[in-house]
Homo-oligomer: A and B are copies of this chain.
Amino acid sequence: MTADATTLQALPAALRAALGDAHVLTGTDAAAREQDWRQRWPGRALAVARPGSTEEVATVLRLAARHGASVVPQGGNTGLVGGGVPDDSGRQLVLSLGRMNRIREIDAANLTMTAEAGCVLQALQQAAAEQGLLFPLSLAAEGSCTIGGNLATNAGGTQVLRYGNARELCLGLEVVTAQGEVWSGLSGLRKDNTGYDLRDLFIGSEGTLGVITAATLKLHPQPVATLTALAACPDLPACVALLMRARARLGAGLTGFEVMNRLSLDLVRQHFPQLPQPLPGAPWTVLLELADGESEAHARGLFEGLMEAALDDGCCTDAVVAESLAQSQALWQLRESIPLAQAAAGANIKHDIALPVSRIPDFVAATDAALAAAFPGAALVNFGHLGDGNLHYNVQAPPGVSPREFLARHEPAVNTLVYDGVMAHGGSISAEHGIGRLKREELAERKSPVALGLMRAIKQALDPQGLLNPGRVL
């Protein structure tokens, strides 16, 4: 190779010298890392670097800086917003954390676990369970997503109501900066007021401020019994009233509170007829989960007391409590099959939004009506984590209209209508999926200029050359 040793084209060779040939992929070997799993963002990478240690990550970043390559950190590549795949310039380096998959320590008496960024979420759940402990982060992609990506995007999931987002489950981080320095901020401390909260700044920054290489995570005691119930509610205000009741009665025992509108479950019935639906035809169905420290009988008593009171005052019109673990799993399967049933029904326009719980009924009423007026016949598949104020508010083409055609023609207008409603009701246009490339322009338009100015100042301060995941978030 005769190219100047610091040109972009010389970077793969420099990386091979540093990491070994096997850990720098180019050409077809790199293909799986160049686009997202939904194939929305086909890209082309200069190379894929697979460092095996924190020091090697630092080396990769220093080499990238020297050769003028920007760096796209990648975990399990399960993201939904195009944040973890390269653009199509062929000039970006993908930094895959997959080889950094050691659990460094489990400290049971401190209820903490220190794990490297490339650990698959499910492996962490299992490692905690083997100690009789719980790592509560749980989401659909848990079999392949990695904890580094979970933290970089502040992942949510199904247990946020009780245990918080990924942010709340993290006590400390190890991060490689844009300059290739290592911040050793791993810490098993519940209290530490020694300066600015760097941890939370890196969490949720989607790889644009630094590369997370390891984290110290909170563990919890395993509940003795977990029980699931289903309730039929007449409308959304009744769902909110049931949530208030459940929070007051079950306290921290309430670990899940999911809502599903009728169309969501109708789609499930249509595409997964084998799944039993114990409360068919309800305008709204709520799935509740209760984790109990005492016994299944105690949990059942609590649930039955709650449901009796809720039936009495009209919050719900019917309810069932699962009789077995298998029944519990079947109820969760209903909820989890909605995205699959939707996919089977054709493309739709997805919105991952959050609102104050108290304003959800008004938002849904107003936005449903506005959509019905603007796009007659369009259908609302509306479900999500009501306990966290997080809705997956998805718009489907009218019957008889080609979904692809509907999307091609109306997606921007539908998004504008929905996001206008979200903003008017004090909400967020990205609850748990992040910004990435998908919502970057939307964010620039809708976030306050002061907030954007603060974000840009921080980006400039930490990554003045703009090497880390450029074009994402900001």
Which residues of A does B touch, CB under 8 Å?
107-112, 153-154, 156, 160-162, 164-165, 167-168, 177, 181-185, 187-198, 200-201, 203-205, 209, 221, 223, 240, 244, 247-253, 291, 293-294, 302, 354-359, 385, 388-390, 426-435, 439, 443, 447-448, 450-455, 457-462, 473-474
Q: A197-B200, A203-B197 are in contact. Are A388 and B190 (CB under 8 A)?
A: yes
Bound Cα distance from A162 to B164, whole angstroms: 13
Q: List residues of chain B with CB within 8 A of the CB of A443.
A: 194-195
Q: List residues of chain B with CB within 8 A of the CB of A454.
A: 177, 183, 196, 198, 462
Q: List residues of chain B with CB within 8 A of the CB of A153.
A: 193
Q: List residues of chain B with CB within 8 A of the CB of A190.
A: 160-161, 354, 388-390
Q: List residues of chain B with CB within 8 A of the CB of A458.
A: 196, 201, 458, 461-462
Pairs across A and B, CB under 8 Å, 27 listed: A109-B244, A110-B358, A160-B191, A162-B252, A177-B454, A181-B450, A183-B448, A183-B450, A189-B356, A189-B428, A190-B388, A190-B390, A191-B389, A192-B354, A193-B428, A193-B433, A193-B434, A194-B428, A194-B430, A195-B455, A196-B459, A198-B454, A201-B458, A251-B253, A251-B293, A458-B462, A461-B461
- A251: contacting residue among B182, B223, B473, CB under 8 A: B223
- A359: contacting residue among B110, B193, B253, CB under 8 A: B110
- A201: contacting residue among B201, B452, B453, CB under 8 A: B201
When the two chains form their complex, are residues A358 and B201 in contact, meaning their CB atoms are under 8 A apart?
no
The winner among A154, A184, A204, A205 for most chain B CB atoms within 10 A is A204
- Copy tally for this chain in the complex stands at 2
When the two chains form their complex, are residues B109 and A187 in contact, meaning their CB atoms are under 8 A apart?
no
Q: A192-B431, A195-B473 are in contact. Are A450 and B177 (CB under 8 A)?
A: yes
Bound Cα distance from A187 to B355, whole angstroms: 9
Q: A153-B193, A177-B454 are in contact. Are A188 and B221 (CB under 8 A)?
A: no
The winner among A182, A196, A203 for most chain B CB atoms within 10 A is A196
When the two chains form their complex, are residues A189 and B358 in contact, meaning their CB atoms are under 8 A apart?
no
When the two chains form their complex, are residues B156 and A455 in contact, meaning their CB atoms are under 8 A apart?
no
Bound Cα distance from A435 to B354, whole angstroms: 35
Q: A154-B193, A191-B165, A428-B189 are in contact. Are A358 and B109 (CB under 8 A)?
A: yes
Pairs of residues from A and B, 5 with the lowest C-beta to C-beta distance, nearest first: A252-B252, A109-B358, A461-B461, A200-B200, A188-B356
The winner among A185, A191, A251 for most chain B CB atoms within 10 A is A191
Bound Cα distance from A468 to B334, whole angstroms: 54
When the two chains form their complex, are residues A193 and B430 in contact, meaning their CB atoms are under 8 A apart?
yes
Bound Cα distance from A302 to B454, whole angstroms: 49
Closest chain-B Cβ to A216's Cβ sits at a distance in Å of 9
When the two chains form their complex, are residues A205 and B196 in contact, meaning their CB atoms are under 8 A apart?
yes
With A195-B452, A251-B252, A294-B302 known, 7 other A-B pairs at CB within 8 A are A111-B357, A187-B426, A194-B435, A196-B205, A196-B473, A201-B458, A251-B253
When the two chains form their complex, are residues A156 and B191 in contact, meaning their CB atoms are under 8 A apart?
yes
Query: Nearest chain-B residue to A302 (Cβ)?
Result: B294
When the two chains form their complex, are residues A185 and B293 in contact, meaning their CB atoms are under 8 A apart?
no
Bound Cα distance from A118 to B355, whole angstroms: 27
Closest chain-B Cβ to A15's Cβ sits at a distance in Å of 23
Q: List residues of chain B with CB within 8 A of the CB of A460.
A: 461
Closest chain-B Cβ to A390's Cβ sits at a distance in Å of 5
